[in-house]
Amino acid sequence: MTALLERLKQKQKELKLDADNKPKAKKGKKATVFSKIEEFKGRKIYHTKIFNDFYTFGISKNEPTKFFISLRGIFNIEDISMFHLFSVREDDEFMGIYYGIRKLDKAFIVKNFNKKETYTLRKCEYIEFRFKKGSVFCYLNGLHILLKKDRVNSPYYNTLLNIILELETELYAFYSKKLSKGGIIPEWIKKRQK
């Protein structure tokens, strides 16, 4: 019994030494949500990394001049990333929300571990939050579901559509802009759906 206890103590010391020798992760450095920030004709354009879909959004309770948007990761939906849209300054103006599809510079490989499948993204749908002085392009892989006619009655389709309609309503209210009746996304879906 004492020999076993001695071996356990020795193993504990070894494990403690191994833990001490490991490099410690740097605290305070957050991974950025944006993959590219560019300046074009006096406008600053932010491009997010590719995400799956929305997690949550709304006006920040601590800072009411910020509208936060949280996104779920493309590889792991439990990885949540967030960015803020700020209230406009005197010389800036919120122009609206726009939707589109952009061809990617490089093909992007996505592995779905739940369905045990791998597929390649060559283009990605985005939501653009356009301002007079710049834009934020938010690339979302989940938006392609909205463009498929065979997925119209699926629960994910309906949930995502309702979330985007709610985002449009809240964001236009945050910037005190009038939103067209029915929202913007249904018109875009009608034009693009196959």
Write the pLDDT tens digit of every residue in 117-147: 787 888 899 999 999 999 999 999 889 889 9
Mean per-residue pLDDT, 182-192 = 90
- HSE toward the beta carbon, residue 22, CA cutoff 13 A: 9
Domain presence at residue 5: no
Domain presence at residue 175: yes
Domain presence at residue 128: yes
| pLDDT, tens digit (0-9, with 9 covering 90-100), for 44-102 | 999 999 998 999 999 989 999 999 999 998 888 888 999 999 988 888 899 999 999 99
Q: What percent of the chain has pLDDT over 70?
A: 89
Domain presence at residue 13: no
pTM score, two decimals?
0.78
Domain presence at residue 112: yes
Q: Residue 92: which domain range? A: 31-189
Number of domain units in the chain: 1
